[in-house]
Structure 1
């Protein structure tokens, strides 16, 4: 075997682009469950050194930035993944399909399709394990339509329309369509036939219904040869089996095993989602916690110093430092500071605190919120994460190696996790 042939044989199978940090770990955990050795890369690397993995996930912070910037970053990630030798590509966004009015799901999907030379891709954010399902093109969160789930009040990406066909069409320049549930239930060939009919009509992006993991596996098999898939992490559930059936993957039963990391632990929460509010309230019932006030931060108060002093004063306990707030309180803050500035103040504060806590011996972080997680990971100088055991659907423990050595991180999307997530996560690392 030549050097080129050997490199191709060892190349990653799946190259993924995620539009935020917690979404990247969410997807990576799904692939690890299927036995794929998975590495998460923070931002697009500047080098082209080969990465030993079955799947690579490039984590961007592109969900809420201007659409042209999101497209440019995603295409740069695609170019790097292609140089790594990946065979199939995946654009991962949130299972609540949340985005700005002008993107970025449609613009990024179209650009990736063009770059890969394909004229069709599906869009399926369904994640049944976390209560996200798509039926007749409508997105449900549990038993509620998306616009009645709390997502309509999201501070950055409010979702007021549950009809994904309308949402996607409003962001796209190409024709969009629907792969209905009755087609999905009829099996792989029916899906392929329906996709071919949509293509013949000029449809390039199609919302795909899905109510269960079996639906997602069927979709995965139907599009096993597609150059590009787009969706939430749920759609990836069947991809490892595709590679196994093709003889390209030897499933690694130890793919999720990570070394135990000692040292102190801390919980940092910047998200104000319903799930995060419940998790913070549960923690505060019996454990030490301190809230960071963005208005005090804006006024120049020593909020960061106070948080570090609070941590120091609880040397024998794990503390929660949080900015999580109820919707009315959050609205007041955003009215005074603006949505963008309020978020940036908290992200910067928690990132600065994280850096200082590492100097104090903290080696285990539980972080709530996608934007917060991205800010913390970048502040800690971590460029790659190994993906470990799942804590709750969509949230694994990860291992990052920064300038200060190994750090264990659980990076949680604001909407994910059970009410006792913080304590259970820490229990798995004790």
Structure 2
């Protein structure tokens, strides 16, 4: 492998794996595989880019740092020349969160400073201008992310937000420098005294320019968009041949599990339920133990062939009520276990196409399934590819971050996941 990625959640991992595998025209991307946790085995020799998916976004800082350093050691042992620390394009973290400490720990281990920090992903509406993060035409704290149940983003100034988390000051490369080209960006980064530096980006062209500026940099951090130009660097240098994404999938029974409460996901549920069977999960009854995951399994299996969907999504007010009643971590943990158990039983019952919406829910589900390395297939919507496990009975997956995807995402995903 020549390019390694440490992702702080599972949907983000498939998001950046998709970006690297797709690459830029005309050469395409790298042969990419996603690994669920730090592998206990070497990567297949044909893999050029490896993405290690961790569930470290909301765990204690010390644990996130430790897991990330273990992932770094494995990637370096595979021969990786450049490392990407991938976090959410909406910078999901608290003031005491993990992005800063993990970024600084990786930089210290690699002996570098002037490290790019850029969550921009224009394809999904995330842009950074003057150090402020936008979602569409709204500042981050006005986009609905201020209501996130685990990482409410109440400040769009990500320089300031990252500064709360780091031991050293945070640098900044403004858009006026970015528009001057790769050499200007490289000069700004190479002369920086700060470990991490927020870099503006308002378009894919900006991200491609940043990609050219970090040729030879041992560490880059950001959302999946930061990887847009990285594959091209290795192809241009002759270290990779370039490849196009392939259509992969499998036939068989399908299931959709939704644990995200984002506005985009709630709209996708509303669209889906117009013509497909859906099951709303009563969180109060999950917390009290009145319902178990076998009810999801019964509902899904009774509706095979009709794209059945089970969800626990709620409005921000209802989420607040649940968290106040039971505790934020208790609700999250209980629902994660609930969906993970349901997924295990669904696979055992023969489901071979599985869609999971929500970063934390996806992490819980995929950890429970222990599918090993996943092959990256075609893109369903920006940031969401088809994933396929290996073995005699492959499982096709789509792991969707809460705010990603078009209104008809669920039915579109099932079609793309077919053989």
**Which TM-score applies when normalising by structure 1?**
0.93
| Structure-2 residue corresponding to 1:226 | 217
Contact 1:184 1:219 in 2 (8 A): yes
Are 1:98 and 2:86 an aligned pair? no
| Structure-1 residue corresponding to 2:413 | 425
Q: Distance in 1 between matches of 2:118 and 2:305?
A: 45
Contact 2:4 2:80 in 1 (8 A): yes
Are 1:213 and 2:196 an aligned pair? no
| Structure-2 residue corresponding to 1:364 | 353
- For these two proteins, the number of residue pairs brought into alignment is 413
Range with greater deviation from structure 2 (187-196 or 343-352): 187-196
Q: Which residues of structure 1 form unaligned runs of 5+?
A: 1-11
Q: Distance in 2 between matches of 1:299 and 1:130?
A: 38
Contact 1:147 1:159 in 2 (8 A): yes
Are 1:204 and 2:162 an aligned pair? no
Distance 1:131-1:192 versus aligned 2 partners, 3 A rule: same
Post-superposition offset of 1:331: 1.4
Distance 1:299-1:180 versus aligned 2 partners, 3 A rule: same
Post-superposition offset of 1:307: 2.1
Q: Distance in 2 between matches of 1:107 and 1:51?
A: 32
Post-superposition offset of 1:282: 0.9
2:319 to 320, 330, 339: 330
Q: Distance in 2 between matches of 1:51 and 1:191?
A: 34
1:256 to 246, 251, 258: 246
1:105-184 paired onto structure 2 within 5 Å = 105-184=99-178
Are 1:276 and 2:270 an aligned pair? no
- Report Cα offsets for 1:50-77 as digits up to 9, x if no partner: 5531100000011111111111000000
Distance 1:316-1:168 versus aligned 2 partners, 3 A rule: closer
RMSD: 1.4
Distance 1:233-1:316 versus aligned 2 partners, 3 A rule: closer
Post-superposition offset of 1:333: 1.3
Are 1:45 and 2:33 an aligned pair? no
Are 1:87 and 2:81 an aligned pair? yes
Distance 1:135-1:303 versus aligned 2 partners, 3 A rule: same
Distance 1:14-1:164 versus aligned 2 partners, 3 A rule: same
Are 1:58 and 2:52 an aligned pair? yes
| Structure-2 residue corresponding to 1:70 | 64
2:394 to 388, 401, 406: 406
Distance 1:414-1:120 versus aligned 2 partners, 3 A rule: same
Post-superposition offset of 1:187: 0.7
Q: Distance in 1 between matches of 2:329 and 2:165?
A: 22
Contact 1:294 1:345 in 2 (8 A): no
Post-superposition offset of 1:316: 4.2
Q: Distance in 1 between matches of 2:408 and 2:300?
A: 21
Q: Which residues of structure 2 form unaligned runs of 5+?
A: 24-28
Post-superposition offset of 1:48: 4.0
Contact 1:113 1:120 in 2 (8 A): no
Q: Distance in 1 between matches of 2:259 and 2:324?
A: 18
Q: Distance in 2 between matches of 1:122 and 1:58?
A: 20
2:340 to 351, 362, 372: 351
Q: Distance in 1 between matches of 2:163 and 2:301?
A: 52
